[in-house]
Amino acid sequence: MVGVGQAADPLTSPDHQRLSAVQLAAAAAHAALADTGAEAVGIAEAIDVVAGVRQFEISVPGAPVPLGRSDNFPRSVANRIGAAPRRLVLEVTGGQSPQHLVNEFAAAIAAGAAGAVLLAGGEAISTAERYASAADRPDFTENVGGDLEDRGYGLDGMVTASLMAHGLAEMPAQYALLENARRARLGLSRTAYAAVMADLFAPFTEVAAGNPLAAAPLVRTAAELATVSAANRPIADPYTRYLVARDKVNQGAAVLLMPVSEAARLGIPRSRWIYLAGHADLRERDLMARPDLGASPAAAAAARHALALAGLGVDELSTIDLYSCFPIAVLAVADALGLAADDPRGLTVTGGLPFFGGPGNNYSMHAIASTVAGLRATGGHGFVGANGGAMTKYSAGVYTTTPTGWTPDDSPRLQSDLDAAPAVTEAEEAEGAATIETYTVRHGRDGRRRGIVVGRLTRDGRRFVARGPADFLADPATEPIGTRVRVHPTGLANEVTLD
């Protein structure tokens, strides 16, 4: 990796330029070219592949695109930097995308199947929301055409009809189910677990406060993060607003990979070179099939394998960035690696998704760029963990200043082992006596609440999702998990009543 770049166009800045996702990604790409320390035109002309991270507004079918978009995102970026790549790729949905693309194209470079590769992504979500109905709204439509390897949405198994019918189409509610399952496994009360989440994220705010690209550069105490207020309203139990990814941002990031021989030919100083020493890409079972809803064996295995491939222990890392869309995404990997929330190295290099910002699927491109910049300054080794879906896809990378040859990973074998483990069977239409396994309550801005339960049928142990009694589930004096209930189907959804 020879060049990294980041860009931001916050609404609050007096210099706000109303940049599109393409323009933000292109600004980051220009910065990555300059970051090589070599002549930018020559670097741009050497780019063989441009791979783009899919924007949120084209990540699910039928999503609104209020200001328009490019019909070929990677080509639009390439055109702006003077590159004429042989191959253009638009990646699938998911926050694993940036690290997965690094892993994929590093392998392609090592195999001689690619030369210089630019990876880029950008989001203008704040601008799109602000100007969607404005009389002077910008038009981000670009019809550039040309070849494009569009890999599609990649949503298989991540959002099912059953989950959607019960109000689980959005990630905060799905993660809340996982978070409460972890709390129950640890035997913690609601209050005690709220403190765990707040203690985890308070140090993240300190990192964000020192990052000029952060969307929310404010130091917040653990007490502020844990306390419900007008600004920190409930989202989905146990989450308040400050504990979830902040996707209303305008940010872009890009990284440049190439063979050592090409870096030498182009005159890129060796002080800019960073090596990918370890890597892994694994997929978790679909949510309803997981034996333990409060853990992620796939993420744990990916993190461990990337470190093993690099020949490093956790204690040898200089920097760490664990994907932080919600607390459990950090905690599940920290659990597996034996990392404490107050590790003096920190668990983020940017400030994390709730505070630095969660620019759609592209957050980890910022984490990689920040890791590279940090390692150049201090030396050592850095870990980046990238997560997609409801802890569904996990890609890990270990970066180092030490010259390191390419080593293929063993992810296919690890994936086979994960897939061979016993799975839980789902009852899409559930009826009879049951026990609550986990739950959440979705809170609307208008004060309305919707209870959602995942439970197990008493007679055969099959798992189901159902609507549940919001007042009971939200009552701080109750512990819903383990409660006996009755479930019955009602049209497209199941419904739980107290037994």
Which string of DSSP letters, residue by residue, matches 200-240? HHHHHHHHHHT-TT-SS-----HHHHHS--SSS-EEETTEE
pLDDT at 231: 95
Contact 91, 97 (CB under 8 A): yes
> What are 3's two structure tokens?
């060049």
pLDDT at 491: 86
Q: Among the CATH numbers 3.90.1150.10, 3.40.47.10, 3.60.110.10, 3.90.1300.10, which is that of 3-157+246-420?
A: 3.40.47.10
pLDDT at 495: 97
What CA–CA distance (Å, rounded) separates 489 from 495? 6
pLDDT at 492: 87
417 contact partners, CB below 8 Å, separation of at least 6: none
What CA–CA distance (Å, rounded) separates 496 from 485? 6
pLDDT at 157: 77
pLDDT at 159: 80
pLDDT at 83: 98
The CA R_g of the chain, rounded to the nearest whole Å, is 23
What's this model's pTM, rounded to 2 decimal places?
0.98
**Where does 432-498 sit in CATH, by number?**
2.40.50.840
386 contact partners, CB below 8 Å, separation of at least 6: 95, 96, 97, 98, 99, 100, 323, 363, 364, 367, 394, 395, 396, 397
Alpha helices for 394-497 (secondary structure H): 411-420, 470-474
Query: In the block, which residue shows the tokens 């705010």?
Result: 205
Which amino acid makes up residue 319? T
- Tell me if residue 131 falls in helix, strand or coil: helix
Mean pLDDT per block of 10 residues along the chain (499 residues) reads 98 95 98 97 97 96 94 98 98 98 98 98 97 96 97 88 91 97 97 98 98 97 96 97 97 98 97 98 97 97 98 98 98 97 97 98 98 97 97 98 96 98 96 98 94 98 97 96 97 91
Which amino acid makes up residue 477? A
Q: Is the dihedral of CA 19, 21, 23, 28 positive or negative?
A: positive
| 378 burial level (CB within 10 Å; 0-12, 13-18, 19+) | exposed
Listed by start position, the domains of the chain span 3-157+246-420, 432-498
Contact 349, 382 (CB under 8 A): yes
